[in-house]
Each structure stands twice: as structure tokens, then as C-alpha cells.
Amino acid sequence: MKKELLIASALVSTMGVASVAEAVTYTMSGNHRAGVVGSSVDSAAGDTTAVSNQSSFTVSLEETTDNGMTISSSFMLANEAVDTGLGTAGITLAFTDGSSLDLLNAGNAAATHDVSIPGSAGEEGLTITTTNNAPTGLDFFGAATALGLEWHSAPDFVSDGLSISVSWSTDDGAANSATAIAKSHAAIGATYVYDAGETDITVGAGYSETDYGKTGAAMTDDENGFHIGFSAVTGEENVLTIAAGFGDGSSVEDDGTVGNGNASTQNDGDVVRAGVSYVIEDITIAVGVTAGEANDSDTIGTAGATADNHDVTDASVSYAVASGVTAILGYTNQQSKDEGQADTSDGSSWYIGANLSF
């Protein structure tokens, strides 16, 4: 008992927390989206139309110690009729020099430095077939376990406009199975922002790798890869944004495929994304394109004969109707191939709705 008391005292002293518990400062935010989604799949007999609702409610917690360090966390109250779970953060320590440290559920430092690329603001889209593993996101690799940390440098690290992040996580003890499980992870990412007069240019890049474990035959490869992207933002009242990015690497996916006693596939893929947005007073117009390709194989190295492909073009027009209320019209066209053959995911989709945020 004495040992436990000493550990508790040391923890309180280290974090600079008062011995008497008081209410932490909190803020609340969230949004509710309501609209209609229509889709037309090339291989289907008819079109479909459905109501689309998404809601989120986030509580952010923060307090500052006497020595200036900020301790923060957050959690999300999910709409259980729509969402599959709760988004819960670990603990973030923000230091007086501008750096910070995320503890538990920290994430992937490579993904932290993805460049934001414009695309449709709507909720339209077609569900890709399970066995089509062509990537659509720049950070399609680099899974992390919850037992990890991520350090973020202060802005202007080493030179003006530069910031970096490093993350690491370790085995959480989950038992191996036929489905591959992430065991350890390490990543690094960086962002550089350059002020070119009326235009701000941002370059972001990251590298990540994850080791996996499974029962049966040994893995032939693990997750690893890199991404790089840039964006240029110009204008004050009317703002033009142009951005593009490229990602390349290997990923491990649980796509429901069972072969040779395995329930996971390993994929060697790449993706290119580009987009443009233009803000004219209360109206935002955005257009984006994505092209992903991957060769998938089972986890003992039996490669697919041909590549999977996933090509998407999307666009939206958003109008700020009132404070916190935005009307959205979106459209997406998708073409995809699984093992070189057109699958049931080709077609188009549209969305009409509104977003209410607070």
C-alpha cells in the first residue's frame, strides 16, 4: 500500500495537479447534417434515394498548471443510430515552448502532416467492393496501436515555417489470429509553410511503418510507405486553394477474403489526389479527383494477377445560409476495377443537404 501511495504522489507532483480535485475547464462543439443521397450504379437495375443523417457532439477538456503546461483531452458522444462508436482522445500535454505530447490513442505522425486537398463537402458516394484494395487516402498505410505517443514540435522548429511530429506505439497484447494484427508502429511527419506574399504555400510529407503479427504462416511484408503533398492558398476575401498529393506504400487489409487460412490481404499501392476550391463571399465551390491503384496478395505472398483501381471525381457547392448553417449540393462519379474487372461500384451519386454546427 505504501508503494502505491508513493507512486500516486509522484504522478500528482509530476503533472503539477493540485491535491484537491476541482472542475476542469470544458467546451462543447458539434454538428448535425441532414440531407438526401441519391445513387445510380451502372450494374444495377434502378436508382436509389435515401435520407442521410450524421451527428456529432464533442466535449473538450483543458486546464493549465501553475508552471504554464496545458493538460487536455476530449471525447465524442456518438449518435448510435448512425455512428459505430465513440471518438475518445488520450491525454495531451502542451508545453510552454509550443511543443506538445499526445499520450494514448496518439495516432500516426505521418497522417498528422497530410496536406488538406479540396473535394466534395457532401455525403454522397458509392460503397467500394470489399475486395477492391486500391487506396484513396494519402495515408492508407501505417496503423498504430492505442498504446503509443506522438510528439509535436513547436511552430518554426529549427527554421521559420517548419513543424515536425514523431509517433510510436507498441504491442497491446491482442492475440494473433488469421486476421493480421498491428503489433508496433513508428512514423515521422513534417510540414513547411512559406509566405510568398499574397500566397501561402504548404508542403507536407510523412513516412510510417507498422509491424504485424498473425497465426499460421509468417507475413511476407508489413505496412510502410510515404506521402508528400502541397497546397497554395491565395486571396483574402475571395480565396483560391490548389492542392495535390501522392502516397505510395504497402498496407494490410482485412477485406473478408479467406485464402490459405488467412483473413487479410497485403497490398502494394499508390494514390494521386488533386483538388481546387474557390470561396466567393458565402459560396464555396470545390472540385477533387482521386486515382488509386494496388496489387493485392494474401499474407503468404500469393499475388493477385492484375491491379485494383479506384478513380473518383467529385464536386460540391456550399452556401452559408446563416451563422453555423451551410447548404450543400454535391456530386461524385466513381469508376473502379477489382483484379482488372469492372466491379459493382461504378456509377454516380448526388447529395442535397444542410450542415448545422455549433
pLDDT at residue 48 greater than cutoff 60: yes
Contact 170, 188 (CB under 8 A): no
pLDDT at residue 41 greater than cutoff 50: yes
pLDDT (tens digit per residue) in 249-281: 988 877 666 554 455 778 889 999 999 999 999
Highest mean pLDDT among 43-52, 174-183, 240-249, 266-275: 240-249
Query: Whole-angstrom Cα distance, residue 358 to residue 349?
Result: 28
Residue 45's pLDDT band, with cuts at 50, 70 and 90, is: low
Please report, for the chain, the start and end positions of each structural domain, with discontinuous segments joined by +. 27-357
Query: Whole-angstrom Cα distance, residue 346 to residue 348?
Result: 7
More confident site: 89 or 28: 28
**pTM for this predicted structure:** 0.83
More confident site: 301 or 240: 240
Going by the DSSP 8-state scheme, the letter that residue 345 receives in this structure is T
Q: How much is the pLDDT for 304?
A: 59
Q: How much is the pLDDT for 127?
A: 83
pLDDT (tens digit per residue) in 273-305: 999 999 999 999 999 999 999 988 765 555 556
User: Grid coordinates 454538428 are at which residue?
Assistant: 31
Residue 86's pLDDT band, with cuts at 50, 70 and 90, is: low
Which residue in 66, 302, 298 sits closest to 178, CA to CA? 298
Contact 157, 293 (CB under 8 A): no
Query: Whole-angstrom Cα distance, residue 129 to residue 97?
Result: 47
Least confident of 36-45, 54-63, 243-252, 298-307: 298-307
Q: Average pLDDT over the chain, rounded to whole?
A: 85
More confident site: 80 or 25: 25
Give 155's strand partners.
Answer: none
Class of the CATH domain delimited by 27-357 = mainly beta
Mean pLDDT for the stretch of residues 29-56: 88
Q: What percent of the chain has pLDDT over 70?
A: 84
Type and span of the H or E element at 110: helix 109-112
The distance of Cα 306 from the centroid of its chain, to the nearest Å, equals 28
Residue 18's pLDDT band, with cuts at 50, 70 and 90, is: very low
Q: How much is the pLDDT for 129?
A: 75
pLDDT at residue 84 greater than cutoff 70: no
Query: Whole-angstrom Cα distance, residue 297 to residue 305?
Result: 9
Residue 180's pLDDT band, with cuts at 50, 70 and 90, is: confident
The distance of Cα 254 from the centroid of its chain, to the nearest Å, equals 18
182: Cβ–Cβ under 8 A, 6 or more apart, which residues?
Answer: 143, 144, 145, 210, 211, 212, 223, 252
Query: Whole-angstrom Cα distance, residue 268 to residue 246?
Result: 14
Residue 10's pLDDT band, with cuts at 50, 70 and 90, is: very low
More confident site: 88 or 164: 164
Q: What percent of the chain has pLDDT over 90?
A: 57
Query: Whole-angstrom Cα distance, residue 198 to residue 239?
Result: 11
Going by the DSSP 8-state scheme, the letter that residue 33 receives in this structure is E
Residue 13's pLDDT band, with cuts at 50, 70 and 90, is: very low
Which residue in 270, 315, 287, 318 sits closest to 125, CA to CA? 315
Task: Considering only the C-alpha atoms of the chain, give the largest distance between any 2 of them, rounded to a whole number of Å.
Answer: 72
pLDDT at residue 330 greater than cutoff 60: yes
Q: How much is the pLDDT for 21?
A: 56
3-state secondary structure of 100: strand
pLDDT at residue 33 greater than cutoff 50: yes
In DSSP notation, 259-288 reads BTTBS-EEEEEEEEEEEEEEEETTEEEEEE
Mean pLDDT for the stretch of residues 228-252: 94
Query: Whole-angstrom Cα distance, residue 62 to residue 345?
Result: 44
36: Cβ–Cβ under 8 A, 6 or more apart, which residues?
Answer: 49, 50, 51, 52, 351, 352, 353
- Write out 171-199 in H/E/C secondary structure: CCCCCCCCCCEEEEEEEEEEEEEEEECCE
